[in-house]
Each structure stands twice: as C-alpha cells, then as structure tokens.
Amino acid sequence: MKIKDLIDEGNKVLHKDQTKLVLGTILNLNPLELNFHLEDIVTANLENKFKRCLENIKNGKPIQYALNNVNFYGLDFYVDERVLIPRFETEELVYNTSNYIRKYFDKNAKVLDLCCGSGSIGLTLKHLNNNLEVVLSDLSPYALEVCDINRNNLKLDVKIVESDLFFNIDSKFDIIISNPPYIASSDIVDEVVKNNEPHMALYGGEDGLEFYERIILQCEKYLNDKYLIAFEIGESQKDKVLALINKYLKNIKVITKSDMAGRDRMVFIFKNIDISE
C-alpha cells in the first residue's frame, strides 16, 4: 500500500494528527515529511506493523504502548505495560531540576532517581549533563528491564539498582529526584490508565502520600550536607507534602512550582544552598 492509503485507513480509527504520528513513528518520518512521500509504497512488514498498532489502539491500548515509543524531552524512550508512560509534566520537573543542578552544583554531581520506571528522568538528566553520576532505582524488576533498554538505546553510562527506595542504596548523593506513585487508593483513575499502566507505579497508599513520607523520613542518610530533593506531586497534594517536609526536615528551604497549566506539581527542597530566584 501507499502511504496515502495507510493514512486514509488510519483516519478511520484515529484523529488525522494521531494517524500521522503513529505512521510517521513506524516509518521514521515526521508528520510533515509524510506529506512529501504520499505516493511511496510501504513494505509489507511496516504495513502490517501499522495495522497492528491501529488494532491495538482501537482495542483501548494507549498509542505509546502500541508504538513502544514516547518522545520525552526530545529523546525517544521505549515503553510498554511494565512502566508508566512519561508525561509532559515530568519534562517540566526535569527542566527545573537541570537548571538547579547547573546553577548550584558541580558538573559531576551525584544524582539518584528513585522510582525511576522507564528511566526517563535520570537518563534525560544524564543526557543533558554527561558528567553527572546517575543512579536509577526502582522496586520493580520489570520496570528496570525497560530502563535498561533505554539506557542501552541512548548509550548512557548510568547505574541501575533494584531497590525498595533506599534499601539497596549504599552511597550518598547531591540530588534525589523522584516521581513516585502518588494516586490515593480511593481516587478515580481514567479507565485507559487504570486498564493499561502498572498499578504499582500509580498508587501511593490510602492517601497517596506513602512514598513521599518514606523518602522524606529516610533521605538525609543518603544525601550530602548540601543537597537538592526534587519531587513531582499530584495537583492537590502540595500542602500535605509540605507538611511532611516540615515534620521531618530542618534548616531547609522549599520552593514549589506550577506546571504550564497552572497546577501545583513540583516541590524542590534545598539544604545549605543560598537560593536566588
């Protein structure tokens, strides 16, 4: 079939922009480039791959899982049902954290990415500053298999550790960054997310705060005297997370940031750093 024929077929299932995203990813063309190749014949293998993707999406699978691909911070990450799909809000966490690292830390600072999942956070920070010493940790061995795929695909020198938070962590860091499970067990979750993404990576206990409390309670044993902790949080959790921080951590400064939609989604904790913003 020609590219134009596959686009027509895809438009019966997807929005036209999604059709071009899916087909472009499979053919390694961006959506604009497809317009210049409409008469090109697609190999049977790639045609079948596109049709399988359409069928999977039609049956409720997220596009990213159907493609085994998501673009995060300009990098292509492999994803499947073993890990959460990285979101745009997490790109903002990486952006702000990277700026803080560049401003307040040596270029070879040590970073721990807790609950790393696909590795999108820690691997992107390493990509942005190859001098960083990065450790990625997760409790799920299945998630770490995906993280390892991305480490190899991106050719980044990082360490991967299977650990229940700090249990198998044996060194100190300058920066801890985490997007932990933070959905409360009683929260209503979108059906597409609930039916496809790993529950271990979604739910953070009865109130969604379990992992924040565990991290905050233990973290200073694994941090140097001067440190930064960066969290992504649920949009209604700011006050409760701040209460946990004030309960367990002393002599610190805290900055919260909203995402592009104006929702409170990021918390940054600094110790022994003269913050100027």
Convert the pLDDT of each residue in 147-181 to its tens digit. 999 999 999 999 999 999 999 999 999 999 999 98
Question: How much of the chain exceeds pLDDT 70, in percent?
Answer: 99
Among 88-92, 137-141, 205-209, the least confident range: 205-209
Edge to edge, the sheet with strand 173-178 lists 159-162, 133-138, 110-114, 173-178, 223-232, 264-271, 253-258
Tell if the pTM clears 0.85, that is, is over it: yes
- What's the distance, Cα to Cα, between the start and end of the chain in Å? 56
SS (H, E, C) 109-152: CEEEEECCCCCHHHHHHHHHCCCCEEEEEECCHHHHHHHHHHHH
Report whether pLDDT(192) > 80. Answer: no
Q: Which of 6, 7, 23 is nearest to 63 (CA)?
A: 23
Classify the C-alpha dihedral 158-138-83-245 as positive or negative.
negative
- Binning pLDDT at 50, 70 and 90, where does residue 187 land? confident
Report whether pLDDT(189) > 70. Answer: no
Convert the pLDDT of each residue in 76-109 to its tens digit. 999 999 999 999 899 999 999 999 999 999 989 9
Report d(CA 96, CA 91) in Å as an integer. Answer: 9
At 110 the pLDDT is: 98
